[in-house]
Amino acid sequence: MEKTDLELVTSYLDGDEESLRTLIERHSDSLYNFVYRFGGKDDSADITQEIFVKVWKNLHKFDREKNFKTWLFAIARNTVTDWLRKRKHILFSDMDSENMFFEDSLVDEEMRPDEISVLAHDKQKLEQALEKLSPEYKAVLLLRYSEDFTFKEIGEILDKSQNTVKSQHTRALDQLKKILKK
């Protein structure tokens, strides 16, 4: 029977080097895809490797009460964001805004993925539309639909409340719809 992520982390911390290799192999494809789609197209392999180095260096700090994949993608999101800041000088002025009382109270009216794909007509058009979204909105959509994280898990990854993530999700879908209609 295949070991869980937590069992592999524990085994690695107990001295089993192969457990880390298994963790990396298990998550490398989805992590690479997230990095690529979030903005690191040209340097996806390097960024993904940097993420796994950070995981290796900090695995002893991992809270075993938490979900490993959520922790991993939080590191990935932070690493790609740092890379984008260095490389593209994108404005991130509202990335960490915590004073969103109105936004926290908005109701989530989730659009189904099939509705998005109907608007997009094809994958290429959707990819081009995603590139036009702000990094925070793009991250929410990629984590939700590409990686199947819950809003709670996305909140943990982005260090935001679940309601804030739901609000950003709704606004991201609205923006995506507007972009696709043009």
Query: Residue 129's pLDDT is what?
Result: 85
What amino acid occupies position 26? Answer: R
The 3-state DSSP class for residue 4 equals coil
pTM of whole model > 0.75? Answer: no
Return the structure tokens found at 144. 């939700």
Return the structure tokens found at 46. 């390097």
* CA gap 109, 32 in Å, rounded: 30
Convert the pLDDT of each residue in 1-32 to its tens digit.
899 999 999 999 999 999 999 999 999 999 99
Q: Is the pLDDT of residue 160 over 60?
A: yes
Going from the C-alpha of 116 to that of each of 26, 30, 110, 124, 150, the distances in angstroms are: 29, 21, 11, 13, 18
Query: Residue 108's pLDDT is what?
Result: 44
The domain limits of the chain are: 5-88, 101-181
Mean per-residue pLDDT, 165-181: 92
CATH of span 5-88: 1.10.1740.10
* CA gap 128, 124 in Å, rounded: 6
Q: Which fold has domain 101-181?
A: Arc Repressor Mutant, subunit A (1.10.10)
How many residues appear in the chain?
Answer: 182
